């Protein structure tokens, strides 16, 4: 048997290599998009063809996101991510042997399928394994891994750009196989999601995982027992309903959550961040920085992205999701208005720039150009701790267990749909409306600020099961941060049920039949299932926990 590691930080750090795949892909394009060797090899792609190359990844990711939920529900969170790693390596191999534009697009489509699977299921895997007090921090590591991937691949590509011929980008794209190998092999040493195990009646394994993460291996720890009770109740309720399909996400009681989850992924793209990432060399070229100077200036932006994601990882579980999203969109709107305004006021139209007919605007004023670059850095520095990790964290938290994998896949597909549209449309946008592109994204940031305020409830500090209750009780989003779930009517009923349930000792698994559990004959390991409480004082050392040990101070907030 393979020795498993249960430390949530180690598990999250390894799983988020799946985010690094996305980051590698982003800068593998941006570093070469204005490279003379690359352009000559692909017969000088125009803005439409380059948009197709860039957006191919997002097209594959859309498909990968849609199928990821079903794969995850059947195989498990861990195996679905490993499938993504294998597909990624195949896509990287196709890209590094590129002979023409068609092969490059096919390779990026294949890699995109892998990114779609990993980007939707890695946050789910981490969220279902994480203690509630640090769940935001651990899921936030996914976005941090993306930023590291972007920066590492950019510098690899920058170094390879000094090579002559096609090997400059072939080597860079071939090195993308490395994180795929790391992800595939690392996950062997980590546990499966306890919530997925519970849906497969593997209760002993689920309890064991929760015990190692929440109670230091103590299966009788109060936090472990209460969380398992919540999971059992959720599984019991889920089994009373039919199998979930994509249409159930739009049924009454679910459609609002689906709308919010899809919206947060859409808005993440409409912040304009991928304009800054995919086509950052275009922006800096318009500001008068091209060639190596443009690449070096661009690299600073990637370093800012990595560093400024750290505050979110450290403090998002203290600050909350709503404040970060609201503050981020507000300031991003400001920076985008300033970039667009300065570019429009001080710049002028040109037929082409440095031989690139896709760039039709330049800003010759030195001070204005430096201001544009500064505001670009500020924009990235604002996105990094807010909408960067915030969108992935939020979507991984808001759906019930039965819908979580499918819903996260669907919402991620919305992200990739807009990623595809923007990657394809931005090059023509720079060509035909120039600086106005930034104004459009600034307006989107203003709209999303109001949307978050009125429609996105707070999820900080609550278990995934408690987040369900916030939605079911229709708490106003702007009040949700002050709500204590234990005071809600539904939650009071659940706790009352727990208090009244005089469950016998652990050796009697039949006590859990009412809660949707199964007898030991259905348990994969053949061992007994832990009870929650015992009223018999003679059993205090039998492994059961006295109910008085879980008093009114053990509130699930």
- Residue 40's pLDDT is 87
**Residue pair 407/249 in contact by the 8 Å Cβ criterion:** yes
Both tokens assigned to 305: 């992205």
Q: Are residues 156 and 64 in the same domain?
A: yes
Q: Are residues 158 and 302 in the same domain?
A: no
Domain end point (choices 495, 515, 535): 495
Which neighbouring-strand residues pair with 533? 545
Q: Distance between CA atoms of 396 and 139, rounded to whole angstroms?
A: 8
How is residue 356 annotated by DSSP?
A: B
Q: Are residues 365 and 483 in the same domain?
A: yes
- Residue 93's pLDDT is 95
- Residue 194's pLDDT is 92
Write the DSSP string, 109-128: HHHHHHHHHHHHHHHHHHHH
Look at residue 533 and give its three-state secondary structure: strand
pTM for this predicted structure: 0.74
Question: Is 539 inside a domain boundary?
Answer: no
Q: Are residues 197 and 303 in the same domain?
A: no
CATH number of 473's domain = 1.20.1250.20
Q: Which domain holds residue 154?
A: 1-203
Q: Are residues 6 and 147 in the same domain?
A: yes
Q: Which of 69, 113, 67 is nearest to 90 (CA)?
A: 113
Q: Distance between CA atoms of 268 and 275, rounded to whole angstroms?
A: 12
**Residue pair 128/196 in contact by the 8 Å Cβ criterion:** yes
**Residue pair 335/379 in contact by the 8 Å Cβ criterion:** yes
Query: What's the structural domain count of the chain?
Result: 2
Question: Is 500 inside a domain boundary?
Answer: no
Q: Distance between CA atoms of 197 and 477, rounded to whole angstroms?
A: 32
Question: Is 502 inside a domain boundary?
Answer: no
- Residue 280's pLDDT is 74
Q: Are residues 114 and 186 in the same domain?
A: yes
- Residue 500's pLDDT is 56
**Residue pair 511/531 in contact by the 8 Å Cβ criterion:** yes
Helix 222-239, helix 203-214: angle, nearest 10: 140
**Residue pair 89/182 in contact by the 8 Å Cβ criterion:** no
Q: Distance between CA atoms of 156 and 150, rounded to whole angstroms?
A: 10
Q: Distance between CA atoms of 514 and 508, rounded to whole angstroms?
A: 13
Write the DSSP string, 209-258: HHHHHHSTT-TT-HHHHHHHHHHHHHHHHHHTSPPP-GGGGGSTTTHHHH
Q: Are residues 425 and 329 in the same domain?
A: yes
Place of tokens 């191919």: 56
Q: Are residues 193 and 288 in the same domain?
A: no
Write the DSSP string, 328-343: HHHHHHHHHHHHHHHH
Q: Are residues 474 and 329 in the same domain?
A: yes
Q: Which helix (H) or strand (E) holds 58?
A: helix 47-75
**Residue 105: which residues within 8 A CB-CB, separation 6 or more?**
52, 53, 56
Question: Is 140 inside a domain boundary?
Answer: yes
Question: Is 226 inside a domain boundary?
Answer: no
Q: Tell me the pLDDT tens digit for each residue of 57-78.
A: 888 999 999 999 899 999 999 9
**Residue pair 312/322 in contact by the 8 Å Cβ criterion:** no
Question: Is 208 inside a domain boundary?
Answer: no
Domain end point (choices 495, 512, 529): 495
Q: Which of 459, 404, 480, 406 is nearest to 135 (CA)?
A: 459
Residue numbers of the chain with a pLDDT score lower than 50 = 502-557
Question: Is 66 inside a domain boundary?
Answer: yes
- Residue 488's pLDDT is 62
**Residue pair 222/550 in contact by the 8 Å Cβ criterion:** yes
Measured torsion, CA atoms of residues 428, 172, 126, 444, in degrees rounded to the nearest 10: -20
Q: Are residues 81 and 154 in the same domain?
A: yes
Q: Are residues 151 and 294 in the same domain?
A: no
Which neighbouring-strand residues pair with 356? 353
Place of tokens 């592109």: 437
Q: Distance between CA atoms of 111 and 108, rounded to whole angstroms?
A: 5
Q: Give me the numbers of helices (H) and strands (E) for the chain, helices first please.
A: 24, 2
Q: Which of 168, 49, 69 is nearest to 119 (CA)?
A: 69
Q: Phi and psi (nearest 5°) for 57?
A: -60, -45
Q: How far is CA 343 from CA 123, 285, 356, 370, 434, in A?
A: 38, 12, 19, 11, 9
**Residue 77: which residues within 8 A CB-CB, separation 6 or more?**
121, 124, 125, 128, 192, 193, 196, 405
Domain end point (choices 468, 495, 522): 495
Q: Phi and psi (nearest 5°) for 356?
A: -100, 110
Q: Distance between CA atoms of 7 and 224, rounded to whole angstroms?
A: 15
Which neighbouring-strand residues pair with 362? 348
Q: Are residues 77 and 168 in the same domain?
A: yes
Q: Distance between CA atoms of 454 and 476, rounded to whole angstroms?
A: 8
Q: Which of 123, 162, 164 is nearest to 142 (CA)?
A: 123
**Residue pair 164/76 in contact by the 8 Å Cβ criterion:** no
- Residue 550's pLDDT is 36
């Amino acid at each position: 048997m393979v020795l498993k590691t249960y430390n949530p930080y180690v598990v999250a750090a390894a799983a988020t290599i799946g985010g690094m795949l996305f980051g590698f892909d982003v800068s593998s394009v941006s570093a070469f998009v204005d490279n003379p060797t690359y352009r000559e090899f692909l017969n000088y792609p125009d803005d439409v063809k380059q948009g197709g190359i860039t957006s191919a990844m997002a097209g594959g990711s859309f498909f990968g996101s849609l199928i990821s939920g079903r794969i995850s529900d059947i195989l498990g969170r861990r195996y679905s991510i490993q499938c993504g790693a294998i597909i990624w390596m195949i896509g990287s191999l196709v890209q590094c042997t590129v002979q023409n534009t068609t092969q490059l697009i096919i390779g990026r489509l294949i890699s995109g399928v892998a990114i779609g699977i990993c980007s939707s299921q890695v946050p789910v895997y981490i969220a279902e394994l994480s203690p509630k007090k640090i769940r935001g921090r651990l899921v936030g590591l996914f976005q941090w891994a993306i930023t590291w991937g972007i920066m590492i691949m950019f510098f690899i590509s920058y170094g390879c750009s000094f090579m002559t011929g096609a090997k400059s980008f072939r080597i860079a794209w071939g090195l993308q196989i490395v994180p795929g190998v790391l992800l595939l092999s690392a996950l062997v040493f980590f546990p499966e999601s306890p919530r997925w195990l519970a849906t497969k009646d593997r209760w002993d394994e689920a309890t064991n995982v929760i015990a190692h993460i929440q109670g230091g291996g103590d299966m009788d720890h109060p936090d472990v027992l209460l969380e398992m009770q919540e999971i059992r109740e959720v599984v019991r309720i889920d089994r009373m309903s039919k199998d979930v399909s994509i249409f159930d996400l739009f049924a009454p009681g679910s459609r609002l959550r689906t709308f919010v989850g899809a919206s947060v992924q859409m808005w993440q793209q409409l912040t304009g961040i991928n304009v800054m990432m995919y086509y950052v060399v275009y922006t800096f070229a318009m500001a008068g920085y091209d060639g190596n100077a443009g690449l070096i200036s661009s690299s600073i932006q990637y370093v800012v992205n990595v560093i400024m994601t750290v505050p979110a990882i450290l403090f998002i579980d203290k600050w909350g999701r709503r404040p970060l999203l609201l503050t981020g969109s507000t300031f991003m709107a400001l920076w985008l208005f300033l970039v667009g305004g300065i570019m429009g006021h001080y710049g002028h139209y040109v037929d082409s720039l440095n031989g690139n007919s896709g760039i039709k605007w330049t800003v010759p004023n030195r001070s204005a150009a430096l201001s544009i670059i500064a505001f670009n850095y500020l924009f990235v520095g604002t996105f990094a701790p807010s909408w960067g990790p915030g969108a992935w964290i939020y979507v991984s938290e808001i759906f019930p267990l039965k819908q979580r994998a499918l819903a996260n896949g669907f919402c991620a597909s919305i992200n990739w749909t807009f990623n595809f549209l923007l990657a394809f449309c931005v090059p023509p946008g720079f060509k035909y409306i120039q600086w106005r592109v930034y104004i459009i994204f600034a307006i989107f940031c203003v709209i999303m600020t109001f949307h978050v305020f009125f429609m996105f409830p707070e999820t900080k500090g609550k278990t995934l099961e408690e987040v369900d209750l916030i939605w079911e009780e229709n708490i106003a989003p702007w009040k949700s941060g002050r709500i204590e779930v234990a005071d809600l009517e539904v939650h009071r009923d659940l706790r009352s049920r727990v208090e009244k349930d005089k469950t016998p000792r652990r050796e009697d698994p039949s006590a859990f039949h009412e809660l949707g559990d199964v007898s030991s004959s259905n348990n994969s390991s053949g061992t007994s299932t832990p009870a929650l409480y015992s009223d018999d004082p003679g059993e205090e050392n039998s492994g059961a926990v006295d109910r008085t040990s879980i008093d009114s101070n053990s509130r699930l907030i």
